[in-house]
Structure formats: structure tokens, C-alpha cells
Amino acid sequence: MAEYSAFSILKNAISGNRDWKPAWRKPDPKPSYDVVVIGGGGHGLSTAYYLAKEHGITNVAVVEKGYLGSGNVGRNTTIVRSNYLLPENIRFYEHSMKLWENLSHDLNYNVMFSQRGILNLAHTPGQFDDYARRGNAMRHEGGDAELLYPDQIARLYPGLDVSPKARFPVVGGLLQPRAGTARHDAVAWGYARGADRRGVDILENCEVIGFLREGDRIVGVQTTRGDIRARKVAVAAAGSTGRVLKLAGIDNLPIESHVLQAFVSESLKPILPGVITWGGGHLYVSQSDKGGLVFGGDLDGYNTYAQRGNLPLVEEVMSELLAMFPGFAKVRLLRSWGGVMDMSMDGSPIITTGPLPGMYLNCGWCYGGFKATPASGWLFAWTIAKNAPHEINAPFTLDRFHRGILIDEKGQGATPKLH
Amino acid sequence: MLITCPYCGPRDVSEFSYQGDGNRTRPDPASTDQAAWNAYVYDRINTAGDHKEIWQHSGGCRSHLAVTRSTLTHKISHVAFARGGLASVRPAGRDHGDHA
């Protein structure tokens, strides 16, 4: 019987809710594991979950320097989508979307995945043509996309001014109906519980401070809770990737760490039926199930590992939101925060074996980490278990930059702050 | 963040444009060393701590500046004109780190 079900809720209610087990244990580190995953965020936890579920590798530890959910898995704007142009990205994010669609059942944990659609607004004919091209590319690879005209958009978003008199007139938009949002904390907790129940040790407040080596080979990690040996060490540290790999003597990576700020407003009655993005600049907004507007825009635009940004970007994001919805001018902001993004040189991720023997690397998520969580873990687990990439993540190598086979979705080149 | 432009004095970060990592050295333009060019274009040391970087005072005197700024705290310890290369980085005189 599933741990969470209508019956179990009733049964536990009758017994005064005294018999619920913690969602995951708090074990002490064992001296050695088959696999140690560095990073207890969404990607690290899903990697451990799929290692256990898909590959039967259960002697696994996930080491996390803080508490579960303290990093980017709890800092994103919860958007899930797969509206990419390049074939490598469409295949990857479609794989992720299919895992999302069954995730609550798979985990027996309600991640509140809501396929409310994402609408990208176009404000120029050129942008509209570009969206048509992207939509065709998505459909060609088996995804879903619909090109909408202003009258169709007005029916979806009654609060949006689609008249030619608007400050930034809406020419049209690209809708991906299967996109949506999910509750990000539940994703972390669901994967953690699923991994834990299969035997994975989740070690919180356990920061990696060095690597154990035998010659070139990585044979474990030194942590604040002692040395842990491992046959395989998998790094899924997102914004901290550079800091972790420096401990292994790797000083250069095609990665810069930048801060991305996010915002949530006070609760409003339902006004935004889905996720909507503004094409006049860079802004994305949706409404949470509690009613708050959840939104964000560009990076602050300079290297940083601090999980906070500065005010000029706050002003820019607010002005973009109001350019799209002037009616939100009197809505009060509730909270804002920052997360550290591992911005790669082509805007696409890295999921690979290496770069040292015994090591596996998962990084370069830019803005795209949350929606990638299931596929990232699924493919990283495959790569770790089989010592070789799956065909979907085979293009996402570390050496593609030096080999000239970049996957540059936006065509921005090696300027990470622009991806 | 406030950046102390050696010409204009302390100004808000919104007046400046970030030009990126200042730790990179461009190979000799005549060089055909592919590995060196690839490393210059794609590899970053991504420092956690004091980071050498280039900013332009694009909303002011338009000087290019060599700035040393902590990527952990945003505290700026050095600002100098970038001309002459990063070797010429010198103290800015005043520390505006408290405003970071």
C-alpha cells in the first residue's frame, strides 16, 4: 500500500497522527558507499532516487552542506516547460516533461504539478516569426506548441492589454499547453523520501571540504562529518560547482556563477491562469496556488556566489512587470531572494563522466535547473551506473566547448550573463 | 553596490556595465594555438572570493575599470583604470565595501 493514500490519512487521523514516520532518516555517515552524490538539491536527490529505482544501486549517500531545500530547488520560480528550439534541448526537456507528468504518482508524493501552460508574448513581427519557428521545431520533435493571435490571447488573459494602443503592443504569442508549475519544496521532499525509503542515506549539514584520491582517481570525499569513501563520486552542486571542483584541483571550467533574483507578491484573487512571459525584455510571471504573483527576470549580471542581488535589477524587473500589467502597480511585494546560477558558456548543461577518474559531473544549469530536475537525475543516474552517457545527454559534454560543438540556444556566444 | 570610479568618484552600480572576468589573457593575435584560444574564450576560474573583473563606467566617463571585488560579499577592495592592463591595478584609496 502506498505510504500516502486516502486510507492512510484516515487511519492516522483515527490514531491521532502519532504513527507518521519522518519523510527521511537522519543517518550518520557510513565509512564507504558505492556512490556519493555531492549536493542535496533537486538534481542530487533525483539522481540518488533514480540510481536506486532504475539501476538498483542503493548503497548511496547524498551529502548536503545545508538542509534539504535550502539551495536553488527552493529558490526558483517553479516553472516547468520544454519550449526549446535546438533538437538536443527539446529531446532533453521533453524527456523531463514526460517524467514530470507522472512524478506525483511515481513518488507517491503530491508535487502539485499543474499544467496550466506557458505563453511567450511577441511584441514585434520578427519575434512572432521566431516563435513560429520555435513552435514548429517543438512539434517536429513531438512536443506541443500553439501560435496564438491577440484575440486568442485576450480570451486567456483578460487582464492583459492586447490593443494596438498598449505601451508594448502584443503581436501574438507561443503557447505550450503542457507547461506549468510545480511545488518546488515538494519535489525536493518527494525525491528525498523516495530515495531514503530505497536505502539512500541523506546526510544534511555535511559539507565537502576535500576529496580522497589515489593517484589521479577520486575515491571519496572529506566532509565536515568525516571522510567517506566511494567507488563513484557524483557532483551535482549547481552554483557551487566551481568551489567544489577547485577542491579536486580543477581550476578552470566553462562556468560562471551569477545571481538570479526572484520575487513574490501578496496574495491576489485568481488573475493569471498560467505562466506568461513578456517579450519586450525578460520577465516571467505566474500566480501561485496561494495567490501570490511569482516572478523574475534577468540576472544581476556580474559574477557572484552571494545568494542576494542588488536594487537596480529589482527596479528593472518591477518596471517590466508593470509594462506588461500596469494594473499590478499597487500590488505589494512580499519577499525577494537570490539564488546562484551556474551559467555555462553556451547556456546548456553538462551531464558527463569525469572530468577525473571516479568522478561524474552535472552542472551548467543556467536558469533551467528546476524544470530539468527529473531528467537531470534520471540521465545522471544512467551515466553514473553505466559509466557512459545516455543518448539524450551524450551531447551535453564538458569538452564540447573546446571541440566547437556548442548547444547555444540563444546564440549569445561565450557571454554567460546573457544566456 | 557602489563603485569608486577613479575619475568620477563613488557612483551607483547602475551607471556601470559589467565587461566580465579580468583574469583572462588574450593570446597574441598572431597565435594559432587553438587550445590557448579555446581556453581564453571558454574557460573561467570563477573565483569564490576576491575577483579581478572589468567594468565600464558607461553611464559616466566611459572609462574601463579594473575592479577587485569579492564574489562572496560584493565588497570592492581595488578600483583602477584598466588601461595598461590589470598589472597596473592599484588601491582606490577609499573602501566602499560597506555599501555592497
Fold of A115-179+256-344: D-Amino Acid Oxidase; Chain A, domain 2 (3.30.9)
Q: In one letter, which amino acid is A187?
A: V
Which residues on chain B place their C-beta less than 8 Å from a C-beta of chain A?
Answer: 1, 12-14, 18, 20-21, 35, 38-39, 41-48, 51, 53, 69, 71-74
Contacts of A392 (CB under 8 A, 6+ apart): A91, A92, A95, A375, A379
What does the pLDDT read at residue A277?
96
Whole-number average pLDDT of chain A: 95
DSSP states along A142-162: T---EEE-HHHHHHH-TTS--
* β-pairing verdict for A32-38 and A60-63: parallel
Q: Does residue A330 have a pLDDT over 90?
A: yes
Residue of A nearest to B45 (CA): A252
Mean pLDDT calculated for residue range A230-251: 96
Q: How far apart are CA A256 and CA B44, in angstroms?
A: 7
Q: Identify the band that residue A334 occupies on the pLDDT scale cut at 50, 70 and 90.
A: very high
Nearest CB among B14, B44, B71 relative to A304 is that of: B71
Nearest chain A CA: its distance from B44 CA (Å): 5
- Do A372 and A336 form a contact (C-beta atoms < 8 A)? no
CATH architecture of the region B2-24+46-99: 2-Layer Sandwich (3.30)
Backbone φ and ψ for A28, nearest 5 degrees, come out as -85, 150
| Cα-to-chain-centroid distance, residue B58 | 14
**Exposure of A318 by Cβ count < 10 A (0-12 exposed, 13-18 middle, 19+ buried)?**
middle
Q: How far apart are CA B38 and CA B18, in angstroms?
A: 22
Determine, for residues B46 and A302 on separate chains, whether the beta-carbon distance falls below 8 Å.
Answer: no
Q: Which range has the worst mean pLDDT, A151-155, A171-175, B93-97?
A: B93-97
The single residue listed with the C-alpha cell 579581478 is B52
Return the residue in B3, B71, B73, B99 with the most chain A beta carbons within 10 A, the one to mutate for interface testing: B71
pLDDT in tens, B23-67: 998 999 999 999 999 999 999 999 999 999 999 999 999 999 999
Nearest CB among B38, B53, B74 relative to A306 is that of: B74
Nearest CB among A246, A312, A401 relative to B42 is that of: A401
Percentage of chain A exceeding pLDDT 70? 100
Nearest chain A CA: its distance from B93 CA (Å): 23
C-alpha distances in Å from residue A33, one per residue of A57, A219, A355, B74: 10, 10, 20, 38
What does the pLDDT read at residue B71?
96
Determine, for residues A256 and B51 on separate chains, whether the beta-carbon distance falls below 8 Å.
Answer: no
Mean pLDDT calculated for residue range A2-30: 92
What does the pLDDT read at residue B88?
44
Mean pLDDT calculated for residue range A88-112: 96
Q: How far apart are CA B58 and CA B64, in angstroms?
A: 8
Residues of chain A with CATH 3.50.50.60: 24-79+184-254+346-418
pLDDT in tens, A65-76: 999 989 999 999
Fold of A24-79+184-254+346-418: FAD/NAD(P)-binding domain (3.50.50)
For B58, the grid coordinates are 558607461
Nearest CB among A252, A303, A417 relative to B51 is that of: A303
Q: Does residue B96 have a pLDDT over 60?
A: no
Query: What's the whole-model pTM score?
Result: 0.93
Q: Identify the band that residue B95 occupies on the pLDDT scale cut at 50, 70 and 90.
A: very low
Buried-exposed string A132-166: b where 16+ CB fall within 10 A, e elsewhere: eebbebbeebebbbebbebeebbebbeebbbeeee
**What are the domain boundaries of chain B?**
2-24+46-99
Question: In chain A, which residues have their Cβ closer than 8 Å to the Cβ of B13?
Answer: 310, 312
Residues of chain A with CATH 3.30.9.10: 115-179+256-344
What's the ipTM? Answer: 0.88
Determine, for residues A310 and B74 on separate chains, whether the beta-carbon distance falls below 8 Å.
Answer: yes
What does the pLDDT read at residue A397?
97
As a whole number of Å, the end-to-end CA separation of chain A is 45
Q: Identify the band that residue B84 occupies on the pLDDT scale cut at 50, 70 and 90.
A: low
Nearest chain B CA: its distance from A3 CA (Å): 42
pLDDT in tens, A347-376: 999 999 989 999 999 999 998 899 999 999
Percentage of chain B exceeding pLDDT 90? 80
Triad A389, A81, A117: Cα angle to 5°: 155
Contacts of B91 (CB under 8 A, 6+ apart): B77, B78
What does the pLDDT read at residue A2?
74
Mean pLDDT calculated for residue range A83-108: 96
Question: In chain B, which residues have their Cβ closer than 8 Å to the Cβ of A251?
Answer: 45
What does the pLDDT read at residue B94?
45
Q: Does residue A169 have a pLDDT over 80?
A: yes
Q: Does residue A276 have a pLDDT over 60?
A: yes
